[in-house]
Amino acid sequence: MNKKNILITLLTGLVILLNGCTNRPQLQNKVIVPKIAYSGGADNASYSEAQIKIESSCVYLMRENDRVLPVFATKDALWDSNKHLLIIDSKQFREGDTIAYGSGEAYPLNLNDYNWIVKPDTTCDLNKGVIINQLIEPITKK
């Protein structure tokens, strides 16, 4: 093989290698966990269970065919992007985990109605939201 063929082979390999690196599945965007001021863990109106679902940069709670955007009024609420964990008041949850909470019915969220500590991403579905002031131990676990 002459030097020209070796160079072409090396450059072709480099292009294939770089293409493989740039076409990897997209890493998950930064997940934004909506949060308002801590409400003191007040008594909740009713009991609900749901599974945690991450879609793009949004956290949702899934119940049957219902998708609800949680707004946390807890001491802490954040997403650990390194470990892929939702952390609420020092408790850690993974996507698909069942959580339980007390709240009323889900309702459309108006972003202007709250003093946000962390505002939901603008791409999140605000048609059904619920304020969560504490998580409780689920009766059923999945």
- Tell me which DSSP letter residue 18 carries: H
Q: What percent of the chain has pLDDT over 90?
A: 56
pLDDT digits 0-9 by tens, 46-95: 788 999 999 999 999 998 889 999 999 999 999 999 999 999 999 999 99
| C-alpha radius of gyration, the chain, whole number | 22
Task: Give the length of the chain.
Answer: 142
CA distance 92 to 9: 49
Strands 85-88 and 91-93: antiparallel
